[in-house]
Structure 1
Amino acid sequence: MTTTSAKLLKLTLPLIKTHGFTREALSLSALSLPTPLAHPLPDASVTALFGPGDDARRTLVHAWLDDARLRMKEQAAERMGMGDVLKARLRSNEPVLEHLPEAFALLASSSALPLPLLPVDPAPIIKHAVQVSDQACWIAYSGLRESSWYTRRASISAIYLAAELHQLTSPKTASAFLDSLLENADHAGKALDETALFASYVWKSWRGIVRSSGVLV
C-alpha cells in the first residue's frame, strides 16, 4: 500500500459513521487532506488506490478492523481483565454498528462476483475474531505462557464472535452478554463440545443476521 492510500484510508475512518464502508467515503477522504482537494477523488482514482468495485470497500473494512484493534490496545490499562479488553473492542463498533452487517458480508464474499450471487464464507469473520482474541490475550494474559494459553485464546475467539453477534441485534445488552459468556465459558465449551463447533454455531446465527439485512440473498 502506498503512503497516499494509507493516508487517505486513515482520513476515511471518521467518515464511515455517516457514509458507511463505501467507495463514496473513500472518495470524500480527499476533502480532509491537510491541503484538501477541490473535489472528491474521481472513481478511477479510488479504483487505482484501493481496488476495483467492492475490493475497495473490503480494503476499507480491513483498515477499520486494524484501527479498532489498535485502539483496543491503546485503551488497555495495565492488568486490565479480559472482559474490560473485549468491551473496549466492542465499543469501537458502536459508532458504525448499523454498517457492520454489510461490512462483514463484504468480507464473507469473494471478490470474483457481485455480492448477491455468492455463498458466504465464514473464514474471514472467524479470522477477524481470532485476531481480536489474539491481541486481547496478549493484553490480559501478559507474561502468561502455559500450555492452556492457546486453548484459552480459541475459546475467547468464539466468545467474542458471539458477543459481536449479540451486539448487532441488542447493542444495549452486549456488555452484560459478554460477561455472562466469560463467566460461563467452561459450560459453553462443554455444551458445544469443541470451540470449533461453537464458532460454527455462532456463524450460522450471524449469517442469518447478515442475510436479513438484504446484503446477501
Structure 2
Amino acid sequence: MAANSSTRLLKLALPLVSEHGFTRAALARSVLHLPTPHAEPLSDTAVSALFGRGDLARKTLIRAWLDDGVESMKNAPGVGTSVKDALHARLAYNEPVLAHLPEAFALLAAPESGIPPIDPVPALKHAARIADEACYVSGDQSLRLSWYTKRATLTGIYSAAELHQLTSPQTAHSFLDSLLSTSTTIDSSVEEVKLFSSYIFRSWAGIIRSQGVL
C-alpha cells in the first residue's frame, strides 16, 4: 500500500487504542474500519511492511497519537481563551487511553539499544509541543527571552501534571490548576524549570523500570 494508505490506517487505528492499546493488533484491526472494510485484520507481515517491524510499529502508532493530541487542542471546546484551557483540554485527551500510557511512554523513552541511560528527549519534545500549542491557540504573543522561559516553564508544568495523571487521574486537573496558580513568575522562573526537569527525568525513569522495558 502507498504512504497515503498508511496514514489513513493510522488515523483509523487511533480510536482503537482505548481497547487494544498501542499495539500491532490495533494497527492490524484498522482495516476493519475502512469505508469498505476488510474481512479480516492485516497480517503481521503487512503491519511490518506498513508501519515497521516489532516495536517500531508500536512507536509509529504512539507518535501518531501524540500528533493527533496536539491537533485536537485547536478544536477542543473552550480552547482559545487561555493557556490553562488548552492544557486542561490536552489532559482530557489522555483520559480514554490512560491505562496504556505508562507502557507507551516507557517504550518511547527506552534507548534503541536497550542499554541505559534512558533517552529523555521524547518526553521533553512531547511536553514542549503541547506547551507551544497551548500558547499558540490562546493567542500568546510572548517575545524574545520571555518566549523561551514561559514555554520552558509550561513544559515542566504540563509534564508534571501528566505524570500525576498516570497515578491519580481524579486529581490531575486540580493538580494542574495548583501548579499554574503557584507559578506566579511563569515568565522568569528559571529555578522552577530546573525543578520540573529533574522531576520529569526521574519520573520517566521510574515509568520505564516499572514497565520492565529495561
Tell me the TM-score normalized by structure 2. Answer: 0.90
CA distance in 1, matches of 2:131, 2:186: 17
CA-to-partner distance for each residue in 1:92-125, whole Å, 9 max, x for gaps? 0000001001111111023445xxx554211111
What RMSD in Å do the two structures reach over aligned CA positions? 2.3
AA in 2 matched with 1:163: A
Partner SS, residue 74 of structure 1: coil
Q: State the 1:38 CA deviation.
A: 1.2
Deviation at 1:127, TM superposition (A): 0.7
Contact in 1 for aligned 2:31/2:37 (Cα 8 Å)? yes
The match for 1:81 is 82
Whether contact under 8 Å (1:55, 1:111) holds in the other structure is: no
List 4+ stretches of structure 1 deviating above 4 A: 76-79, 186-192
Q: Establish whether residue 211 from structure 1 lines up as the match of residue 209 from structure 2.
A: yes
Q: Which residue of 1 aligns with 2:16?
A: 15
Structure 1 range deviating more: 142-151 or 18-27: 142-151
Aligned partner of 1:122 in structure 2 is 120
Aligned positions of 1:180-191 closer than 5 A: 180-186=178-184
Supply the distance in 2 between the matched residues of 1:172 and 1:194 (Cα, whole angstroms). 25
Q: Distance in 1 between matches of 2:79 and 2:68?
A: 20
Residues 1:48 and 2:49 aligned together: yes
The 5-angstrom pairing of residues 1-217 of structure 1 reads: 2-75=3-76, 77=78, 79-113=80-114, 119-145=117-143, 147-186=145-184, 193=191, 195-212=193-210, 214-217=211-214
Structure 2: give runs of 5+ residues left out of the alignment.
none
1:11–1:29 Cα contact (<8 Å) kept: yes
- Say which SS state the counterpart of residue 143 (structure 2) adopts: coil
Return the offset for 1:24: 0.7
Amino acid at match of 2:19: T
Cα deviation 1:51-71 (Å, max 9, x = unaligned): 111000000000000011111
Q: CA deviation at 1:182?
A: 0.6
Task: Name the CA shift for 1:189/1:202 in 2 (closer, same or farther; >3 Å).
Answer: farther
1:24-83 per-position Cα deviation (integer Å, ceiling 9, x unaligned): 110011111111111110111111110111000000000000011111111164642111
Given the superposition, is the C-alpha separation of residues 21 and 77 from structure 1 closer, same or farther in structure 2, using an over 3 Å criterion? same
TM superposition score normalised by structure 1: 0.89
Q: One-letter code of the match for 1:16?
A: V
Task: Return closer, same or farther for 1:79/1:30 CA change in 2, 3 Å cut-off.
Answer: closer
Moved more, 75-84 or 170-179: 75-84
- The offset of 1:197, in angstroms, is 4.3
Task: Write the letter of the residue equivalent to 1:56.
Answer: A
Deviation at 1:196, TM superposition (A): 3.9
The structure-2 alpha-carbon separation of the partners of 1:24 and 1:85, relative to structure 1 and needing over 3 Å to count, comes to same
Distance 1:78 1:86 in 2: 9
- Percent identity (aligned): 52
CA–CA distance in structure 2, aligned partners of residues 55 and 95 of structure 1:
23
CA contact (8 A) 1:130 1:157 kept: yes
Contact 2:106/2:204 (8 A) holds in 1: no
Rounded Cα–Cα distance in structure 2 between residues aligned with 1:135 and 1:76: 15
Number of residues of Structure 1 aligned to a counterpart in Structure 2: 213
Shift of 1:200: 2.3
